[in-house]
Amino acid sequence: MKLRIAGGRVYDPANGVAGEVRDVCLDDGKVVPDLPADAMRIDARGMVVMPGGVDIHAHIAGPKVNAARRLLPEEHRADVHDRSALMRSGTGGTVPSTFVTGYRYALLGYTTVVEAAAPPLAARHVLSELRDTPMIDALFLVLLGNNVALFDLIRRDPARVRDAIAWWLEATGGYGVKLVNPGGVERWKRGIGKVTSLDDEVAGLTPRRVVETIASAVHELGLPHPVHVHCNNLGVAGNWRTTMDTLATIEGRRAHLAHLQFHAYGGRPGGRMRSRAPDIAEYLGAHPEFSADVGQVMFGDATTMTADAPVSERLRDITGGKWVNADTEVETGCGIVPFTYREKNYVHALQWGIGLELFLLSRDPWRLVLSTDHPNGGSFLSYPRLIRLLMDRDFRNEQLRLANRRAIERTVLFDDLDREYTLEEIAIVTRAGPARLLGLRDKGHLGAGADADVTVYDERADREEMFATPRFVIKGGRVVVRDGDLVEALAGDLLRVAAPYDPAVEDVLRDRFEERYTVQFENYPVREPWLLEPARRVPAGRPA
Amino acid sequence: MRSHDAADASRHRAATCGGCGLVCDDITAVLDEHGGLERLDRTCPLGHAWFAERLAPAPPVARIDGREAELDAAVDEAAAILATARAPLVYGLGRTTCEAQRAAVALAEAIGATIDPAGPLLDGASGLAYQARGASTATLGEVRDRAEIVVVWRADPVVTHPRLLERLRLPHPTRTLVVVDGRRTATAERADAFLEIPAERDVETLWTLRALVREAPPAPSGASQQPLDDLAARLRACRNVAILHHVRGHVEALGLHALVRDLCSVTHAVTVTLRHEANAAGAEDVLAWQTGYPAAVSFAGGHPRSSPGELSAPAVLDRGEADAALVVASDPLEHLPAVAAERLRAIPVVSIDAGDTATARAARIAFTTGAPGVHRPGVVHRLDGVPIGLRAVLESDRPGDEEVLAAIAGRIARRGGDAA
């Protein structure tokens, strides 16, 4: 299908285009330099044209997400989605059903989403849900930071770690490597307490050694996305030191830090939380090998869900409400606690403020990108409001005045942060930046050869309204949203990495499997073609 | 397999067993020269029977009123029944694959049906307790490698899940197996301790235990409390507890989850439901990811609405609301309460099953499909939620459950198109 998006103001930061009026031409699922004059066209005059949104860190599929769905019937009753000629029915809330997740991302102008924490043992479950999540291209990161079989290898045969990681990615259909509270979940599962420093002992290793070894291995494999780290001590006052220590440990290799806001706290453990966002932002700015997503919290309902089960245990004790814990053998934990962020609450307001500080102090939008850690800090549906907070100083200051005063006074938000994000910067933090950090060369830009994923917004002064209801969304060259309505439902692709490994590693792993897992080694890798195909492979290999 | 010569090895097939919720995946099927099954290694009696049932001469692929029919004609007829029903019911799902379950939910939605997996009826109402409070759970490997005390609560896995104790390496010299039940079961015979407590005392017992593990003075109860004192003291003293259960009532399930939550403030504690059907967990998972609810979902209003109790299959049948039923991989005439079973006999039933069940024999339309785990691959979620890829060890030209479901759905969509 040929399509010309004509006369819009185009924001394509990866190609240096910042609001120029020009045409974007699409043919056969790709962006092309030009099209015959008689090609179908969308009149985009007065509109803003950007690449489709790319969510670098969300929780949308797999056993953890589904355990949360099952926990929230009251949210689902309040937010139903009817079946139509195009769409399957479903339910919404902070953790929507799979179909609704896909539709709502598309209606928001997002076309690529990362499921950020998949237990490799559950890969078939993750893939099954992704096959039922329409509209978006999806990829997932596999949890390897508390895998005791891999820990064995790190201790006894570290030279094999690289091959083992590539094997795990191939076995699951995964895209990249995620570490969650490295070593800390295993330590907690052993009942010997929580990790508080990178030098605590667990299974004959330390978090530092785990982070260092796996970050190096991922770096050497040349995976398109570097190791994606949820640091130790999430949510704990004073944890900024752990975050800095983690970065210092990885220095010289690449890494992406997940939901940085939750790791930027000063104060003493157990004491009153403070902001250390300025220090973290400063450090990040000075280290081009590192990137992060913010993990902004938004006031209102959220559902916390994490492989960091010890964190959920603490949240359970705060809310006293519903709580799910699920331990996965060898690999990980999982905790779920429904949570409401309240603007008058000191801690919640401070978390909100720290997220905004990180955004507003960021020197390089390419390396500090937008997320709410959906649905941990808030639903992806709150991105438009977050964008307005970044783009509209008056609105932000109004909201600041509503939040807990003592908390906001602990931030620098009222001092001199009158920065307003430009549309170009928004295009960077919501699509161009995440795509580049993920190593997705065909995503996040509108140069010739890019995937024909495009979002067209009406230019509106109210940025929240503007970004909440794109006028057109084009996925793979097909118009899927027109005038704010979904007009075509289609399946997205699975994006997976291709990272070669020495098959000899299988013999090494087989022995560890028989001892540790309750699933046979031969049955562990996903082999069902309907789960793995169709997929697009992104090759590993060091950038030239 | 490396010890066999090549010709011999070529007859050995890695196999998986769908005989119970454990889904053992270390089975070897040895084939004879004609590609038939000669022998199975490592199956338990239950698994052996499961394979045997699926290898027995099967009825025709399609039957209408008990008589062999063309597959196409039966699909047409099934589509006509389901498309014209005012309030169809879709039931079962626990013994088929997630792929077929996905197709079944899609079909249920398309015809505005109520869909309810058999699991809640067979394996208890812990779904409601979960929705109310949440749960702490774990995969089998966690239980095997960490639980210092394993409590089997009102379940007899030696009979229902014959390889469970072996797979959990129980009994064990340094770990304790405790059984709580109303009589001395086969599992109790192998336990380190057995507490004989009648089922009707479950709620009281669980609340007493809750008080004891919290070291609060328990409400006085008629029963001798010494065994519970001892159990509570043991639970408090160890580092990791797993409670494997098959409680049937909502209040009992709530009590169990509450006990585990209390235990979690002094130790690490988990529960695992010993589901009977190989993919009961998957049925609830698939329904939850497609609709937001794990059971008792009605699509009558054009979107999912769930109301366990009101919309559970026995209730819908009892009230005489269902006017047609699609039964997938389940034998409700064998396990529904009597009134509901009678109601089911009175309405047109479409059965899709790899086995020859009483329900299939009584059905208006019956499809006998290729069996998942014998003739067909597919994913099931083990009782602890771990997805296992079933292997097909034998050839069959019968369609699978999901293909029949998709064919019916396709036919219904075309009918809708014609009508429009």
b/e map A486-501, b = 16+ CB within 10 Å: beebebbbbbbbebeb
**Could A90 and B292 be called an inter-chain contact, meaning their C-beta atoms sit closer than 8 Å?**
yes
For residue A180, what are the contacts with CB-CB under 8 A and spacing of at least 6?
A: A117, A143, A145, A146, A230, A306, A307, A308, A332
Number of domains in chain B: 3
Inter-chain CB proximity B141 and A518 less than 8 Å? yes
Distance of alpha carbon B98 from alpha carbon B380, whole angstroms = 6
User: Which residues, at least 6 apart from B235, have a Cβ–Cβ distance to it below 8 Å?
Assistant: B149, B151, B209, B213, B241, B263, B267, B269
Contact A329 B268 (CB under 8 A): no
Local confidence band at B416 (pLDDT 50, 70, 90 cut-offs):
confident
HSE, side-chain direction, 13 A CA sphere, residue A13: 20
Closest-CA residue of B relative to A519 is B25
- The per-residue pLDDT for B1 is 40
Nearest residue to B21 (alpha-carbon basis) of B114, B186, B139: B139
- A524: in domain: no
Cα B310 from Cα B122, distance rounded (Å):
17
Both B230 and B148 in a single domain?
Answer: yes
Domain with A290, as residue range(s), is 50-486
* A73 Cβ under 8 Å from any chain B Cβ: yes
pLDDT for B304 = 98
Rounded to whole angstroms, how far apart are CA atoms A51 and A475? 10
Closest to A187 measured CA to CA, from A81, A363, A309: A309
Question: Span B336-350, mean pLDDT?
Answer: 97
Q: Are residues B225 and B180 in the same domain?
A: yes
Per-residue confidence (pLDDT) for residue B217, from 0 to 100: 67
Q: Which of A80, A129, A531 sits opposite B303 (nearest CB)?
A: A80
Burial of residue B136 (CB within 10 Å: 0-12, 13-18, 19+) is buried
Asked if residue A424 is part of any domain, the answer here is yes
Residue (of B84, B131, B39) closest to B364 by Cα position: B84
Q: Are residues B222 and B292 in the same domain?
A: no
| B286 and B406 together in one domain | yes
Residues in contact with B348: Cβ distance below 8 Å, sequence separation at least 6, in sequence order: B81, B85, B324, B325, B364, B365
Does residue A439 belong to any structural domain of this protein? yes
Instruction: Report residue A338 as tokens.
Output: 């429904």
- Contacts with B292 from chain A: Cβ below 8 Å: 69, 72-73, 76, 90-91, 93, 95-97
Q: pLDDT category, B6, cuts 50, 70, 90?
A: low
What tokens were used for A120?
Answer: 């490799």
Q: Which residues contact B89 (CB under 8 A, 6 or more apart)?
A: B113, B114, B115, B116, B313, B316, B317, B322, B324, B325, B326
Average pLDDT over residues B211-232: 79
The confidence score (pLDDT) of residue B414 equals 92
Cis omega before residue B171 (within 30°)? yes
Is residue A344 a part of any domain in this protein?
Answer: yes
- What size, in residues, is chain A? 544
d(CA A363, CA A292): 12
**Residue among A100, A115, A128 with most chain B CBs within 10 A, to mutate:** A128
Contacts of A67 (CB under 8 A, 6+ apart): A305, A324, A326, A334, A336
Which B residues 352-381 touch A at CB under 8 Å?
377-379, 381
Q: Would A320 be classed as within a structural domain?
A: yes
Residue A270 has pLDDT above 60, yes or no: yes
Residues 6 or more apart whose CB falls under 8 angstroms from that of B177 comprise B150, B152, B165, B170, B171, B190, B191, B192, B193
For the entire predicted model, the pTM comes to 0.97
Q: Please indicate, yes or no, whether residues B319 and B408 belong to a single structural domain of this protein.
A: yes
Distance CA B95, CA B282 (A): 9
pLDDT band at A522 (very low <50, low <70, confident <90, very high): very high
Residues in B 198-237 with any Cβ partner in A closer than 8 A: none
Q: What is the total count of domains within chain A?
A: 1
Taking an 8 Å cut-off on Cβ atoms, the answer to whether B306 and A330 are in contact is no
Place of tokens 């489709």: A52
What is the average pLDDT across A177-205? 96
Whether residue B253 sits in one domain with residue B133: yes
The residue with tokens 């039922």 is A132
> How far from A401 is each of A78, A353, A404, B185, B306, CA to CA, in Å?
30, 11, 8, 66, 41
Phi/psi of residue A506, nearest 5 degrees: -65, -35
Q: What does the buried/exposed string (b/e) look like for A320-349 if buried means 16 or more CB atoms within 10 Å of the residue's CB? A: eebbbbbbbbbbbbbbbbbbebebebbbbb
> Residue A542 domain-assigned?
no
Candidates B95, B124, B165, B81; CA nearest to B347 is: B81
What CA–CA distance (Å, rounded) separates A312 from A332?
Answer: 13
Instruction: Tell me whether A482 touches chain B (CB under 8 Å).
Output: no
User: Which chain B residues are Cβ-neighbours of A190 within 8 angstroms?
Assistant: 146
Do A185 and A146 contact (CB within 8 A), yes or no? yes
**Phi/psi at B64 (5° precision):** -120, 125
Report B:306-335 residues touching A (Cβ under 8 A): 306
Q: Assess if residue B168 is contained within a domain.
A: yes
Under 8 Å between Cβ of A234 and A241: no
- Chain A residue numbers touching B127 (CB-CB < 8 A): 70
Interval B149-192: pLDDT, tens: 999 999 999 999 999 999 999 999 999 999 999 999 999 999 99
* pLDDT at B9 (0 to 100): 72
Which of B366, B240, B303 shows the shortest CA–CA distance to A100? B303
Do residues B340 and B404 both lie within one domain?
yes
Q: Domain boundary residue among B257, B273, B289?
A: B273
pLDDT band at B420 (very low <50, low <70, confident <90, very high): very low
Q: Determine contact: B26 vs chain A, CB below 8 A.
A: yes
Q: Check pLDDT > 80 for residue A533.
A: yes
Residue at which a domain ends, from B220, B252, B273 = B273
Chain A residue with minimum CA distance to B264:
A313
Tell whether A189 is within 8 A of chain B (Cβ). Answer: yes
CB < 8 Å to A76, chain B:
291-293, 304, 306
- Tell me what pLDDT residue B419 has: 53
SS (HEC) of B378-391: EEEECCCCCEEEEC
Do the domain assignments include residue A261? Answer: yes
Q: Is the dihedral of CA A425, A427, A430, A435 positive or negative?
A: negative
Q: Quick one: B284 and B257 in the same domain?
A: no
| pLDDT tens sequence across A429-459 | 999 999 999 999 999 999 999 999 999 999 9
A527/B141 Cβ within 8 A: no
Q: Reply yes or no on whether the pLDDT at B276 is more than 50.
A: yes
What whole-number distance in Å separates Cα of residue B283 and Cα of residue B277? 10
Whether residues B347 and B266 share a domain: the answer is no
Quickly state the pLDDT bin for B415 (edges 50, 70, 90). confident
List of chain B residues whose C-beta atoms are within 8 Å of the C-beta of residue A129:
289
DSSP A112-157: EEEEEEE-GGGHHHHHHHHHTS-SSEEEEEEE-TT-HHHHHHHHH-
Which of B289, B311, B403 best probes binding to A when mutated, by most A CB atoms within 10 angstroms? B289
Record: contact B385-A125, CB cut-off 8 A: yes
Is B71 within 8 Å of chain A by CB? no
Torsions phi, psi of A365, nearest 5? -60, -20
CA–CA min distance A53, chain B (Å): 24
| Predicted pLDDT at B3 | 44
Of B26, B290, B381, the CB nearest to A132: B290
Please check whether residue A323 touches B, CB under 8 A.
yes
For chain A, give the percent of residues with pLDDT over 90.
Answer: 97
Stretch B108-122: mean pLDDT: 95
Tokens read off for B243: 């409670």
Any B CB within 8 A of A132 CB: yes
Give the pLDDT of residue B4.
Answer: 47
User: How many interchain CB pairs under 8 A, A with B?
Assistant: 174
Partner-chain contact A327 B142, CB within 8 Å: yes
Please name every residue paired with A404 in a beta bridge, in sequence order, or none if there are none.
none
User: Is position B1 within any domain?
Assistant: no
Task: Give the mutation candidate from A518, A521, A522 for the B interface (greatest B CB count, under 10 A).
Answer: A518
| pLDDT reported for residue B220 | 61
* Subunit contact A128:B304, Cβ cutoff 8 A: no
**What is the average pLDDT value for chain B, to the nearest integer?**
94
Enclosing domain of residue B22: 6-52
Per the CB < 8 Å rule, is A91 touching B16? Answer: no
A136-166, pLDDT tens digit by residue? 999 999 999 999 999 999 999 999 999 999 9
Mean pLDDT of the region A198-209: 97
* A94 within some domain: yes
Q: And the tokens for B419?
A: 């009508």
Instruction: Give the separation between CA B373 and CA B80, rounded to whole angstroms.
Output: 31
- Mutation target to probe the B interface, by most B beta carbons within 10 A, among A70, A100, A124 is A70
For residue A542, the model assigns a pLDDT of 63
Cβ contacts (< 8 Å) between A519 and chain B: which residues? 25, 386, 388
* Residue B410 confidence (pLDDT) above 80: yes
143-182 in chain B: CB under 8 A from chain A: 144-146, 167
Which residues from A are below 8 Å from B129, CB to CB? none
For position A544, what pLDDT does the model report? 40
Q: Could you identify the residue written with the tokens 């459950």?
A: B401
Q: Do B141 and A91 touch (CB under 8 A)?
A: no
Residues of A in contact with B264 (CB under 8 A): 313, 325
Pair A14, A428: CB distance under 8 Å = no
Residue keyed to tokens 């504690």: B269
- Which amino acid, residue B347? I
To the nearest 10°, report the CA torsion of B74, B76, B77, B80.
160
Do B39 and B90 share a domain, yes or no?
Answer: no
Note the pLDDT of residue A492. Answer: 96
pLDDT at B224: 65
User: What would the mean pLDDT of A216-221 be, rounded to a whole number?
Assistant: 96
Kindly state whether residues B99 and B226 are assigned to the same domain: no
Domain containing B363 — which CATH number?
Answer: 3.40.50.740
Tens digit of each residue's pLDDT (9 = 90 or more) over A1-46:
899 999 999 999 999 999 999 999 999 999 999 999 999 999 999 9
Question: In a 3-state reduction of DSSP, which class is residue A260?
Answer: helix
Kindly identify which residue of chain A lies nearest to residue B164, measuring between CA atoms.
A518
Residue in chain A closest to B99 (alpha carbons) equals A128
Give yes or no for a contact between B352 and B375, defined as CB atoms under 8 angstroms apart. no
For residues A384 and A108, the answer to whether their CB atoms sit within 8 Å is: yes
Strand blocks (E) in A223-282: 227-230, 255-257, 265-266, 274-275
User: Do B292 and B262 fall into the same domain?
Assistant: no
Instruction: For residue B143, give the CATH number of its domain.
Output: 3.40.228.10
Query: How many Å apart are CA A277 and CA A356, to the nearest integer?
Result: 9
The CA-CA-CA angle for residues A154, A155, A158, to 5°, reads 45
From B80's Cα to the closest Cα of chain A, the distance in A is: 20
Query: Chain A within 8 Å of B138 (Cβ-Cβ)?
Result: yes
B2 confidence band (pLDDT: 50, 70, 90): very low
Where residue A351 sits, what CATH number does that domain have?
3.20.20.140
**Rounded-to-integer distance, Cα A76 and Cα B305, Å:** 9
Q: What percent of chain B has pLDDT over 90?
A: 87
Question: Which has the minimum average pLDDT: A176-180, B51-55, B141-145?
Answer: B51-55
Chain A residues with CB inside 8 Å of B284's CB? 70
